[in-house]
Amino acid sequence: MLFLTESEVRRLLPMADAIRILRQAFERLGRAEAANQPRQRLILPGGSVLHYMAGSDGKYFGAKVYSTHPRHGAHFLVLLYRAEDAKPLALLQANYLGQIRTGAASGLATDLMAAPGADTAGIIGSGFQAMSQLEAVASVRPLRLARVWSRNPERRRAFAEECSNRLHIPVKASATAEHTVREAQILVTATNAREPVLEAGWVSPGTHINAIGSNQANRRELPPDLIRKIDHIVVDSIEQSRMESGDLLMGLKDDDWIRLLELKELVSGSVKVRHNPQEITLFKSNGLALEDVASAGFVYERALELGLGRPITPSYS
């Protein structure tokens, strides 16, 4: 069994590879060759929470388990097993793995849903997930400009500078969220907000939105009137969205859910969105264990090739 650290995972999982891996994983999900179990949470009185989710993808299966505390942060691990004989293969520190695969899911959705000529991006939020979101969008569209807004002026300026240097595109810190949204052909919301961070009237026709910040039923980034005016809504899992997607749970009526599509349908080519350039599209990302397992399997194979990781021997006696 191999133990892989955060730095090793980050080295072994480039964004372009992560997008390709997830495309293949969702193809297999569409053919019922992969499976996903939604996230569950064990909530303790003192504020600690244990989150756990499981999935399988071809020759691998596994689980992501992570703990969070509002004052003491989060700790992520992925357990990877071989499907053939249930042998434990690897234990991965998974903070960066989660960041990269979340970005990759948005990159995949953007490639399938955004207007082909979209070249301006806007991002609300400048935290840990925001960087990989912009990197993923830039991997599938030739961006000429990106804008960022977050509540802290210093953080958004630092984020813009770092992204400009790292991604080699102009990234500007906006003075207002409205300016960021109005100028974006591809918009990302990556916040921990409980209430909407933008207004429906700010979103221009033809915009594609990736909403990735909320995966709890009582949190949302998008206002209900925007949810109702969006032409096409795609999710990674309808089952999981019904459990934890506050944006949709608080924005849709019961009979509206029938119009939702899943990412696996777009990847397979069985359905398409953006039938005209004025349509507004949304990918509501919740984050699936399937994405973690597929990414962990790739990292594990690359680690074996390069001789990385530290062997550990579980004792069952």
185-211 pLDDT per residue, tens: 999 999 989 999 999 999 999 999 999
Domain(s) labelled CATH 3.40.50.720 in the chain stretch across 104-288
- What's the rounded mean pLDDT across residues 146-170? 96
- What's the rounded mean pLDDT across residues 285-293? 97
Asked whether residue 113 carries a pLDDT value surpassing 90, the answer given is: yes
Among candidates 108, 113, 111, which has minimal Cα distance to 281? 113
Q: Which two tokens stand for residue 127?
A: 């935290």
Task: Tell whether the torsion through CA atoms of 175, 225, 206 and 164 is positive or negative.
Answer: positive
CATH class of this structure's domain 104-288: alpha beta
Domain(s) labelled CATH 3.30.1780.10 in the chain stretch across 2-98+290-311
**What pLDDT is stored for residue 216 in this prediction?**
85
Instruction: Identify the CATH assignment for 2-98+290-311 out of 3.30.360.10, 1.10.3470.10, 3.30.1780.10, 3.90.1640.10.
Output: 3.30.1780.10
Asked whether residue 317 carries a pLDDT value surpassing 60, the answer given is: no
Q: How far apart are CA 286 and CA 39, in angstroms?
A: 10
- What's the rounded mean pLDDT across residues 20-27? 98
The 10s digit of each residue's pLDDT in 73-99 is 999 999 999 999 999 999 999 999 999
Asked whether residue 128 carries a pLDDT value surpassing 70, the answer given is: yes
**What pLDDT is stored for residue 98 in this prediction?**
97
Nearest-Å Rg of the Cα atoms of the chain is 19
**What pLDDT is stored for residue 268 in this prediction?**
93
The 10s digit of each residue's pLDDT in 216-227 is 888 999 999 999
**What pLDDT is stored for residue 95 in this prediction?**
96
Q: How far apart are CA 76 and CA 111, in angstroms?
A: 28
Asked whether residue 316 carries a pLDDT value surpassing 70, the answer given is: no
The 10s digit of each residue's pLDDT in 31-66 is 999 999 999 999 999 999 999 999 999 999 999 999
Q: Are 31 and 303 within 8 A, CB to CB?
A: no
- What's the rounded mean pLDDT across residues 119-123? 98
Q: What is the pTM of this model?
A: 0.95
Q: How far apart are CA 271 and CA 191, in angstroms?
A: 30
Secondary structure of the chain as H, E, C letters: CEEECHHHHHHHCCHHHHHHHHHHHHHHHHCCCEEEEEEEEEECCCCCEEEEEEEEECCEEEEEEEEEECCCEEEEEEEEEECCCCCEEEEEECHHHHHHHHHHHHHHHHHHHCCCCCCEEEEECCCHHHHHHHHHHHHHCCCCEEEEECCCHHHHHHHHHHHHHHHCCCEEECCCHHHHHHCCCEEEECCCCCCCCCCHHHCCCCCEEEECCCCCCCCCCCCHHHHHHCCEEEECCHHHHHHHCHHHHCCCCHHHHHHCEEHHHHHHCCCCCCCCCCCCEEEECCCCHHHHHHHHHHHHHHHHHHCCCEECCCCCC
Q: Which two tokens stand for residue 106?
A: 């948005």
Q: Are 120 and 182 within 8 A, CB to CB?
A: no
Asked whether residue 132 carries a pLDDT value surpassing 70, the answer given is: yes
Asked whether residue 315 carries a pLDDT value surpassing 80, the answer given is: no
The amino acid at residue 208 is: H
pLDDT confidence of 274, banded at 50, 70, 90? confident
**What pLDDT is stored for residue 272 in this prediction?**
87
**What pLDDT is stored for residue 239 in this prediction?**
96
**What pLDDT is stored for residue 297 in this prediction?**
98
Q: Are 239 and 216 within 8 A, CB to CB?
A: no
**What pLDDT is stored for residue 275 in this prediction?**
87
Q: What is the mean pLDDT of the chain?
A: 96
Percent of the chain with pLDDT over 70: 99
Q: How far apart are CA 265 and CA 126, in angstroms?
A: 31
